[in-house]
A and B are shown apart, each in its own frame.
Chain A
């Protein structure tokens, strides 16, 4: 069982928007502004898409955005494209003892 809870799957049609939630506790997501999101295609390494809740690394399209409310972080992908189909994982800093905790991952299907 993962420390952070994500929906197992989400789907959307090209051009639509989808939001993936990531629910933790006040000891991780709610306690720090250090939530990151990673995209992983089959057989590939994770690719960072969002860090520090809402910042985008260089090269990531602005269709990807992140936010947080209380103990739940969210990744929103607008203007869905076929290439966005992948697994998405959230990660949160959880303090100097536990450090990093990941969500179980969400499979995004572009219909």
Chain B
């Protein structure tokens, strides 16, 4: 059974940093691109970042470019999102999602339950 499980969310002050993790199981992790999608409280979904299965390509939304870094550890079947210079507008539930096809961000077939990041003083 395919599963993705996020962790690492919490309360952080503006300007601070946080690292999210996404543990994947039930599939060959290195064969799939993975994405982070976030949802601010009461708002819609926003694609944030993605990494190819081999880890050689990374992608970022303009809103996080230069502040967030995506990475993956294939030996641990884990995806990460390092978030620096956090702003209040980064407050959201962050979902980890599997990219189902070779076209990154075309279709997310499995989602985690999300982890809440709150940026506030």
Q: For the complex, is B112 an interface residue (Cβ under 8 Å from A)? A: yes
Q: How many residues of A contact B (CB 8 A)?
A: 23
Contact: A34 with B106, CB < 8 Å? yes
Given contacts A101-B47, A104-B44, A105-B45, contact A57 B105 (CB under 8 A): no
Residues 41 to 80 of chain A near chain B (Cβ within 8 Å): 44-48, 51-52, 57
Q: For the complex, is B74 an interface residue (Cβ under 8 Å from A)? A: no
Tell which of A89, A91, A105 has the most Cβ of chain B within 10 Å: A91
Contact: A46 with B111, CB < 8 Å? yes
Given contacts A45-B95, A46-B45, contact A99 B104 (CB under 8 A): yes
Given contacts A45-B112, A48-B109, A51-B107, contact A100 B44 (CB under 8 A): no
* Listed A/B pairs (16) with beta-carbon separation below 8 Å: A46-B37, A46-B111, A48-B107, A48-B108, A51-B100, A51-B107, A89-B44, A91-B45, A91-B105, A93-B103, A100-B37, A100-B104, A100-B105, A100-B106, A102-B44, A105-B44
Q: Which A residues have a C-beta under 8 Å from some C-beta of B? A: 2, 32, 34, 36, 38, 44-48, 51-52, 57, 89, 91, 93, 99-105
